[in-house]
């Protein structure tokens, strides 16, 4: 297993082995989970100087999947992501710091037309060579955001008090990235 300080090169997300998901409270009593099915991302990594790492991720807003077609259509609408007018969510890394087996990636998350800084502490799961000769790196972690910070304010009041959709959203990342040949 390589440690984080030894990683160098260009890595691209493997969408078939990467999950970009979220969790929110629904009706204040249960959780709804969803993910984005279409995305791409690349990192140019310098483990010896992590602050120089370059990272860009682009997510297709219309690819949202919560396993409920009506809810997904509502999330694509102007009430939430407005996927027709704002087809992409993006994350552009602005800083990286290594702390043991965790890399803290800070960057600008843009949803609709609002950009806010977010830090993802990602635990390093290691590297492996797959049966096809690809060198893979694994990372996983989560961060919390307030959807209202990004202009996602639609909600419905509940008779029992509170709201239908929580403002707090947990973003969960399970990353498999493939090293690109130099």
Nearest to 74 by CA among 38, 28, 26, 113: 26
Q: What is the mean pLDDT of the chain?
A: 91
| Contact (CB, 8 A) for 103 and 122 | yes
- Chain center to CA of 162: 27
What are 81-137's pLDDT values in tens digits? 999 999 999 999 999 999 999 999 999 999 999 999 999 999 999 999 999 999 999
From CA 16, how far away is CA 29, in angstroms rounded? 32
- For the segment 133-143, the average pLDDT, to the nearest whole number, is 95
- For the segment 58-81, the average pLDDT, to the nearest whole number, is 95
First and final CA of the chain: distance in angstroms?
21
From CA 74, how far away is CA 154, in angstroms rounded? 10
By the 10 Å C-beta count (0-12 exposed, 13-18 middle, 19+ buried), 67 is classed as exposed
pTM: 0.92
- For the segment 39-66, the average pLDDT, to the nearest whole number, is 94
What is the model's pLDDT at position 164?
66
From CA 17, how far away is CA 10, in angstroms rounded? 17
């Amino acid at each position: 297993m390589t440690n984080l300080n030894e990683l160098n090169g260009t890595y691209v997300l493997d969408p078939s082995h990467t999950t970009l998901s979220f969790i929110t409270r629904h009706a204040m009593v249960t959780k709804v989970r969803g993910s984005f099915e279409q995305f791409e991302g690349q990192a140019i990594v310098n483990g010896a100087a992590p602050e120089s790492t370059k990272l860009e991720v682009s997510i297709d807003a219309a690819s949202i999947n919560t396993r409920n077609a009506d809810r997904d259509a509502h999330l694509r609408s102007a009430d939430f992501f407005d996927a027709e007018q704002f087809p992409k969510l993006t994350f552009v890394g602005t800083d990286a710091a290594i702390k043991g087996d965790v890399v803290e990636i800070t960057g600008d998350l843009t949803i609709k037309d609002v950009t806010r800084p977010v830090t993802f502490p990602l635990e390093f799961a290691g590297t492996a060579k797959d049966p096809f000769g690809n060198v893979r790196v694994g990372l996983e972690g989560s961060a919390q955001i307030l959807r209202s910070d990004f202009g996602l304010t639609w909600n419905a009041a509940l008779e029992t008090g509170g709201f239908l959709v929580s403002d707090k959203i947990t973003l969960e990342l399970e990353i498999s990235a493939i090293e690109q040949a130099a």
